């Protein structure tokens, strides 16, 4: 059944979902898109962030998203540490392509198993005043559970975009992705720059984990649902393009939502990945890739 | 001298005979003390681990209970369990190892339809007796006579699964007319929806929505909205825990208010989900296997929960454990009773004993039908009523999950329509 009301609601729901997808994918856009590090463990850090939000919420009643923000320095440090290990063990020796991939796969499983051992395997959810509530704007219903993560996702995109374009370190990160030798000649240490960028990527992952647990329940193995999705969004948007990641996220979110509302949800993922294949056939570098 | 030699000869013969006799006795004692090994794969990590871990814990409680009473046939029971990672591809390897390397005497299935399915050909090839732990319609194609399923689905598992939900709906006045069916693209929901379609025909409802969704769906609002657009009187949902939570939340957010809502949602039985959804559950009519109602207090169940809840706290698994654990316990309880009753470890004799006897378990009396399912369905339909806030203690007492079906276990009456229970 088609109505304009249904269409408007589907588009809005898709945009909200896209904002959340952008938050989850930003870190991959940074680490994979700009640094060429295939951090397959990214979704595991998302889940780690979700568990941090859960623990603070269930123990101290702290808002999950506030927890996500407060924990970003900690995850930044964790990310920087992981990159240092990766660099000294693989990248420096030029063995990053396959062995590095195995390293991140291993990391993904270690995080998953560590979470299982520490917190068990029960579904974890958080409580917040805005979960379960919605507002109606001219017939378009907006659930706060999705609106809040979308707004945070948009803010994260804006912040990362400003960081990359307006700050010295941001420009250095862009530089590292283009020409490391030239960057070295300018007096910047590419390893240090990459450490900072990787740390930011993991901090973004942890914050998006807090958004995830606001939307749906989480178990340690939830990360597996996101591996394909985040890399697809990054590739569709164009490697290293933060704006492109947001656009790709919204395209996939709206496509999923429209399919689910108007034609049947079973096709939603197939259509999303169909869009990815089609876009890559036309623009192999992605929508905003160089 | 000759007398001395003769005496020495007899003493030697006696010593040898005595040594042999003692050695024989030792062998006999060792055999009698050899444990009876029961092996299984279980989802200790991966998507179904939230149920797999409590299931294994329940089976371990049974093992401890049995060993405290002297074991089975005078021999202790040993459990050998491996993590199947909720991955059906690991099942053949795990059970081959259990049978060939660990030399287990009996095997029990892992948890869930998807993990039982790959065990069926192995069991049939080796003529094993299989106790299945919560699988839906696993034996419908095979008709394997030594398969027994502890899930109380009944003789026609697909249809029986939702019979109670449809009977309750059809009994209301005025009778609801239209129905929406929605479920995940996965093994269990497909079976449940297939059974629901048959029941739609039987009860004369009109289907206005019949769609499935991928299990990795993040946002359920568009699905709930599409269902709301066709205004069904009944919404039947067959879902796994994350989607159940997603559907309940999305329905509450967009104001989807059919006259009756629920049916086959896995996850609403879990304590963490119940405490998180809180009052959003009010009015939902859903399948369940056990509820702390006076009609469900079978012998031994209180003692089981006391022990389970003590262990669950340390293990970080479902703190109440009302859904799967008592059934996992009962599955091995029946196996133990059959070994004792049949006085044998022979697979065929044990299967014959299970097939021809009724068992008193902590989930009540269990008798199996020809297809290995319960001879009579006992899938409960409960309605969440009067839930306030998110306190876990409220779920320990009667009146929050009122049993509506089957009649013999009924503990209250349905609040109809759905919206009336939410006030």
CB contact under 8 A, A257 and B222: yes
Q: Are A52 and A206 in contact (CB under 8 A)?
A: yes
What dihedral do alpha carbons B416, B418, B420, B423 form, nearest 10°?
150
CB contact under 8 A, B219 and A119: no
- So what's the pLDDT on residue B19? 47
Residue that is written with structure tokens 């006799």 in the block = B21
* CA proximity to B199, closest of B227, B174, B242, B168: B168
Q: Which domains are assigned to chain B?
A: 35-152+297-367 (3.40.50.2300), 157-288+385-421 (3.40.50.2300)
Per-residue tens of pLDDT for chain A, all 290 residues:
678 888 999 999 999 999 999 999 999 999 998 888 999 999 999 999 999 999 999 999 999 999 999 999 999 999 999 999 999 988 888 777 788 889 999 999 999 989 988 887 778 899 898 888 889 888 888 999 999 999 999 999 999 999 999 999 999 988 888 887 888 888 788 899 999 999 999 999 999 999 999 999 998 888 988 988 899 999 999 988 999 999 999 999 999 999 988 888 888 888 888 998 898 898 888 888 76
Say yes or no: ipTM exceeds 0.90: no
Among the ranges given (A56-65, A137-146, B140-149, B304-313), the one the predictor scored with the smallest mean pLDDT: A137-146
What dihedral do alpha carbons B283, B285, B288, B293 form, nearest 10°?
50
pLDDT at B31 over 70: no
Residues from chain A contacting residue B246 (CB–CB below 8 Å): 216
From B212, B223, B272, residue closest to A124, measured CB to CB: B272
The packing angle between helices A190-215 and A168-178, to 10°, is: 100
* CA proximity to B217, closest of A31, A205, A222: A222
Residues from chain B contacting residue A266 (CB–CB below 8 Å): 185, 211-214
CB contact under 8 A, A221 and B46: yes
- So what's the pLDDT on residue A273? 84
pLDDT at B13 over 60: no
Provide the shortest C-alpha distance from residue A62 to chain B (in Å).
Answer: 15
pLDDT at B25 over 70: no
- Within 266-285 of B, beta carbons closer than 8 Å to A belong to 267, 270-273, 276, 280
- So what's the pLDDT on residue B159? 79
Per-residue pLDDT reduced to its tens digit, B314-366: 887 889 999 999 999 999 999 999 999 999 999 999 999 999 999 999 999 99
From A120, A122, A260, residue closest to B213, measured CB to CB: A260
The CB density around residue A165, as the number of other CB atoms within 10 Å, is: 11
Question: Which of B221, B240, B281 to substitute to test the interface with A, most A CBs within 10 Å?
Answer: B221
pLDDT at B100 over 70: yes
- So what's the pLDDT on residue B303? 96
Q: Are A24 and A208 in contact (CB under 8 A)?
A: yes
Residues from chain A contacting residue B271 (CB–CB below 8 Å): 122
Per-residue pLDDT reduced to its tens digit, B276-285: 899 999 999 9
User: Which CB contacts under 8 angstroms, 24+ apart, belong to A241-244?
Assistant: A241/A29, A241/A33, A241/A286, A241/A287, A241/A288, A241/A289, A241/A290, A242/A26, A242/A29, A242/A30, A242/A157, A242/A160, A242/A161, A242/A164, A243/A157, A243/A161, A243/A288, A244/A29, A244/A286, A244/A287, A244/A288, A244/A289
The CB density around residue A159, as the number of other CB atoms within 10 Å, is: 14
- So what's the pLDDT on residue B22? 44
User: pLDDT averaged over chain B?
Assistant: 90
**Residue B153 Cα to chain centre, angstroms:** 10
Alpha carbon of B4 to those of A105, B1, B8, B15, B17: distances in Å? 81, 5, 6, 16, 20
Most confident residue range from B10-19, B264-273, B342-351: B342-351
- So what's the pLDDT on residue B42? 96
Which tokens is A128 given?
A: 């917040």
Per-residue pLDDT reduced to its tens digit, B233-255: 999 999 988 899 999 999 999 99
Instruction: Give the 3-state secondary structure of residue A74.
Output: helix
CB contact under 8 A, B317 and A261: no
* CA proximity to A81, closest of A168, A196, A158: A196
User: Helix (H) and strand (E) counts for chain B?
Assistant: 14, 14
- So what's the pLDDT on residue A166? 93
Provide the shortest C-alpha distance from residue A167 to chain B (in Å).
Answer: 35
> What is the DSSP secondary structure assignment for residue B186, as one 8-state letter?
S
Residue that is written with structure tokens 């790709």 in the block = A248
Provide the shortest C-alpha distance from residue B186 to chain A (in Å).
Answer: 11
* CA proximity to B55, closest of B47, B63, B64, B44: B44
Q: Which residues pair with A218 in a beta bridge?
A: A124
Alpha carbon of B23 to those of B17, B29, B30, B74, B418: distances in Å? 10, 10, 10, 21, 73
Distance from C-alpha of B379 to C-alpha of B125, rounded to nearest angstrom: 31
The CB density around residue B112, as the number of other CB atoms within 10 Å, is: 30
> What is the DSSP secondary structure assignment for residue B233, as one 8-state letter?
S
Average pLDDT over residues B292-305: 96
Which pLDDT band holds residue B5 (cuts at 50, 70, 90)? low
Residue that is written with structure tokens 């492109």 in the block = A244
Q: Are B91 and B41 in contact (CB under 8 A)?
A: yes
- Within 74-133 of B, beta carbons closer than 8 Å to A belong to 86
């Amino acid at each position: 059944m088609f109505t304009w009301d249904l269409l408007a609601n589907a588009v809005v729901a898709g945009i909200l979902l896209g904002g959340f997808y952008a938050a989850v994918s930003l870190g991959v856009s940074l680490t994979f898109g700009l640094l060429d590090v295939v951090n397959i463990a990214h979704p595991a850090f998302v889940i780690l962030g979700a568990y941090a939000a859960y623990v603070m919420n269930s123990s101290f009643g702290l808002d999950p998203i506030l927890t996500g923000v407060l924990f970003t320095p900690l995850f930044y440090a964790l990310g920087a540490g992981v990159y240092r290990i990766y660099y000294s063990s693989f990248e420096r020796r030029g063995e990053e392509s396959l062995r590095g991939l195995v390293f991140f796969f291993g990391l993904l499983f270690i995080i998953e198993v560590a979470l299982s051992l520490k917190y068990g395997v029960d579904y974890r959810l958080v409580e917040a005043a805005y979960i379960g509530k919605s507002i109606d704007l001219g017939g378009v219903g907006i659930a706060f559970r999705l609106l809040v993560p979308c707004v945070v996702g948009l803010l994260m995109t804006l912040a990362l975009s400003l960081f990359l374009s307006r700050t010295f370190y941001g420009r250095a990160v862009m530089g590292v992705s283009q020409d490391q030798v030239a960057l070295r000649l300018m007096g910047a240490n590419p390893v240090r720059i990459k450490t900072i960028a990787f740390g930011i990527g993991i901090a973004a992952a942890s914050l998006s984990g807090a958004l995830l647990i606001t939307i749906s329940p989480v178990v340690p193995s939830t990360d597996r649902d996101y591996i394909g999705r985040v890399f697809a969004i990054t590739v569709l948007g164009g490697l290293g393009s933060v704006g492109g990641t947001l656009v790709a996220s919204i395209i996939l979110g709206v496509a999923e939502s429209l399919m689910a509302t108007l034609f049947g949800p079973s096709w939603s993922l197939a259509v999303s990945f169909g869009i990815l294949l089609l876009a890559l056939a036309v623009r192999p570098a992605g929508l905003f890739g160089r | 001298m000759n007398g001395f030699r003769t005496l020495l000869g007899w003493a030697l013969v006696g010593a040898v005979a005595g040594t042999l006799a003692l050695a024989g006795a030792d062998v006999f004692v060792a055999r009698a003390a050899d444990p009876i090994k029961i092996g299984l794969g279980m989802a200790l990590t991966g998507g179904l681990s939230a149920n797999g871990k409590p299931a294994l814990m329940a089976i371990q409680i049974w093992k401890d209970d049995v060993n405290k009473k002297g074991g089975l046939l005078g021999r202790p029971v040993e459990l050998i369990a491996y993590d199947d990672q909720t991955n059906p591809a690991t099942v053949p390897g795990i059970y081959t190892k259990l049978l060939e390397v660990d030399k287990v005497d009996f095997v029990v299935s892992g948890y869930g339809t998807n993990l039982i399915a790959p065990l069926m050909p192995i069991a049939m090839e080796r003529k094993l007796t299989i106790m299945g732990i919560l699988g839906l319609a696993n034996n419908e194609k095979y008709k394997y006579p030594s398969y027994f399923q502890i899930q109380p689905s009944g003789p026609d598992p697909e249809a029986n699964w939702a019979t109670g939900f449809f009977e309750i709906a059809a009994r209301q006045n005025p009778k609801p007319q239209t129905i929406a069916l929605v479920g995940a693209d996965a093994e269990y929901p497909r079976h449940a929806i297939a059974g629901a379609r048959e029941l739609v025909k039987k009860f004369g409802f009109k289907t206005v929505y019949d769609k499935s969704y991928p299990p990795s769906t993040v946002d359920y609002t568009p699905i709930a909205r599409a269902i709301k657009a066709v205004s069904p009187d009944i919404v039947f949902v067959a879902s796994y825990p994350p989607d159940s939570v997603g559907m309940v939340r999305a329905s509450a957010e967009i104001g989807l208010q059919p006259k009756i809502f629920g049916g086959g949602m896995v996850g609403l039985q879990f304590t963490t989900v119940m405490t998180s959804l809180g009052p959003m559950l009010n009015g939902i009519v859903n399948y369940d296997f056990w509820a702390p109602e006076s009609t469900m207090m079978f012998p031994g169940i209180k003692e089981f929960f006391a022990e389970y809840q003590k262990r669950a706290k340390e293990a970080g698994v479902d703190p109440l454990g009302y859904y799967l654990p008592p059934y996992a316990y009962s599955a091995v309880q029946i196996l133990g009773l059959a070994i004792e009753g049949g006085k044998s470890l022979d697979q065929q004799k044990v299967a014959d004993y299970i097939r021809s006897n009724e068992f008193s378990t902590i989930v009540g009396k269990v008798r199996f039908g020809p297809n290995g399912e319960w001879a009579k369905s006992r899938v409960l339909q409960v309605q969440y009523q009067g839930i306030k806030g998110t306190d876990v203690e409220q779920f320990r007492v009667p009146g929050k999950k009122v049993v509506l079906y089957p009649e013999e276990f009924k503990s209250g009456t349905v609040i109809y329509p759905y919206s009336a229970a939410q006030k």
